[in-house]
Structure 1
Amino acid sequence: MIINNLKIIVLILILQACKPQKTFVTTNETSPLIKKGEHLQLVSDEFKFTEGPTADEKGNVFFTDQPNNRILKWDAITNKITVYMEPAGRSNGLYFDNTGNLLACADEKFELWKIDVNKNIEVLIDNYKDQKLNGPNDLWIDEKGGIYFTDPYYQRPYWNRTVPEITKQNVYYLTPDRDKIKLVAENLIKPNGIIGTADGKTIYVGDIGDEKIYTYRIDSDASLSNQTLFTKMKSDGMTIDNQGNIYLTNNKGVAVFNKNAVQILNIPIDQNWTSNVTFGGVNRDVLFITASTAVYTLKMNVKGIR
């Protein structure tokens, strides 16, 4: 009996040794992603709810404070924050296009905006097949200038409507010439964060309603195909670094996964919710994190991608 039990124990140990081992690195000096000696820095906690960070060509980060209906700017040189636009269409996700215009998911009236350098606003889209959008939330722009954006439904206190016109919550693509909007991903519960890879071949979409992250292949006509589960995790916004690692955000802070879906880093944030993340700074090596009432920075050894 003892010999048989020993055989079973040895067999279990062998099987465990044969399993692929997942590495996990916490936020300390052992992480190769974080610059040695650097720690999370609170920039400000004077907001109601921060979201949508994106960096311009100089590394300045623009982000939103949606309840206060404004877009703010973090200066990469001075580390100071100023109000860039107020009111701001209750903007959520932001992204700079290929010519320096700031695009905004302005869900006050269910619109997608283009804001030029003089702060002139152009409404790019507000409907799909003559039905009002649910409320654009996050977006990513491809090399051609086309815009992928998520359209979940979050009932806002400033809306008069209480039900959506579009019953499904989808991902859309607005063509570079802005004359056509295409449905590119459906069968999702509540799509939220979205980001594409540097080579333009893959896009990540977070289904926050189902607590899953998916990858899709970007086809030559901008359609999305080959939906594949990347990891089971709730995430709001997301970004990618120049090593292909993806950064996810939720109530536990920032979780970083490598391209093989192995979690390699966790950055705990002392807030109820971490909403989004991007890379800013003059060298694009500052991780800029929006989390509830606050924004944080962390100096990294990796850099963000366009």
Structure 2
Amino acid sequence: MRYLFIGMQAIFIGVPAFCGRAMAQAPAFDSGWVVAEGAIQPQLVSHQFAFTEGAAVDKAGNVFFTDQPNNKIWEYTLEGELVLFMDSAGRSNGMYFDPGGRLVSCADEQEQLWAIGPDRRVRVLLRDIGGRRLNGPNDLWIDAKGNIFFTDPYYQRPYWSRTRSELDGEKVYYLPRGAKQPVAVVADLKKPNGIVGTPDGKTLYVSDLGDGKTYAYSIDRGRLSDRRLFCMQGSDGMTLDERGNVYLTGNGVTVYDRLGKKIAHIPVPEQWTANLCFGGRDRRTLFITASQGLYLLRMRVKGVE
């Protein structure tokens, strides 16, 4: 996750409902047969933010995302409204909905994991590891049983008083549902960042943004094995579609098939693309958080998160 503090104050606006522009032109990018016919480019929803992150979709298809420098979580509803969901949001970064409908957040203001209910009440799931502060939870994925995998790289924040890590590395952790302490499951990456798992709970993708690579692991009751290099690209946020394609961020959006072959690149007119998820009632709209903007793009494939 990267951003600059710009001091932009968020305001409420109305925006169009979930849709893509249909035009009889060729798309301005390599669609790889994943982008809907007639979708020309990602459509800007709003450019009012300081830095957008953490795109996550609820069961209905509403999309939530963060404006981390302004310490807010926003919701883009099925009706096409942009609504402030939470102020003073713990400097939330990556987010994901658990099976119970709670929005679980990497709240790195105090290096914690939060579970935010529909009533906006916060429960702290994780405060530290053996009394030592986490580096700063960055991104997470939750399986169908509510178990959490999350990445914990160290990025110095301007709102922290500390200037160094209290831990012995930047790792990937597994927090079983209801557990009070996590277990390190990956400890040999330079700077783990984006993370996502398959719906069957058998494969976990982890980006090493510090080394420009993404790996795939086999999951067995919380343990990871059979590490294999998936592609030579790191990623901030990640998502999957129904075909098993993996979507990576950074320089726009790059799509790889399940074998790690690049099949599409979608340019986004921002300096950095941080995160993304599929949303809408039919899960065929790709929502992209990129620098100061939120974008959407109509797809021919469905998301699985």
Residue 76 of structure 1: CA displacement? Answer: 2.3
Structure 1: how far apart are the matches of 2:62 and 2:110? Answer: 27
Corresponding residue for 1:223? Answer: 223
Q: For residues 130-182 of structure 1, give each alpha carbon's deviation from its aligned partner in whole angstroms, at most 9, with x where no partner exists.
A: 21100000000012210100000000000000001013000111111223411
Give the direction of change, closer, same or farther, for the CA distance of 1:126–1:29 in structure 2 (3 Å limit). closer
What is the CA distance between 1:268 and its match in structure 2? 0.4
Shift of residue 34, structure 1, vs aligned partner: 1.2
Is the 2:31–2:265 contact (alpha carbons within 8 Å) kept by the matching residues of 1?
A: no
Give the gaps of 5 or more residues in structure 2.
1-25
1:151-170, aligned counterparts within 5 Å? 151-170=152-171
Q: Report sequence identity in percent.
A: 49
Matches of 2:179 and 2:125, distance apart in 1: 7
Alpha-carbon distance in structure 2 between the residues aligned to 1:135 and 1:294: 23
1:261 paired residue number: 260
Q: Which runs of 4+ in 1 moved over 3 A?
A: 25-31
Q: 1:28 and 1:226 mapped to 2: Cα distance?
A: 34
Q: Looking at secondary structure, tell me which structure has more helix per residue.
A: 1
SS in structure 2 at match of 1:127: coil
Residue in 2 that maps onto 1:145: 146
What is the RMSD of the two structures over their aligned residues, measured on CA atoms? 1.4
Structure 2 SS opposite 1:67: helix
Secondary structure in 1 aligned to 2:169?
A: coil
- Secondary structure of the residue aligned to 1:131 is coil
The count of residues paired between Structure 1 and Structure 2 equals 279
- Which residue does the alignment assign to 2:103? 102
Asked if 2 retains the 8 angstrom alpha-carbon contact of 1:152 and 1:169, the reply is: yes
What pairs up with 1:183-202 in 2 under 5 angstroms?
183-202=184-203
CA contact 1:74–1:82 (8 Å) conserved in 2? yes
Specify the SS of the correspondent of 2:93: strand
* Matching residue within 69, 76, 79 for 1:77: 79
Instruction: Please give the per-residue CA displacement for 1:86-120, whole angstroms capped at 9, x wherever unaligned.
Output: 01000000110001011000000000001111111
Give the letter aligned to residue 261 of structure 1: G
Structure 1 unaligned spans of 5+: 1-24
Work out the CA distance in 2 between the residues paired with 1:124 and 1:69: 19
| Per-residue CA distance 1:58-85 (angstroms, 9 max, x = gap) | 111000000000000011222x211100
CA distance in 2: counterparts of 1:61 and 1:202, whole angstroms: 24
CA distance in 2, matches of 1:98, 1:27: 37
TM-score for both structures, normalised by structure 1? 0.88
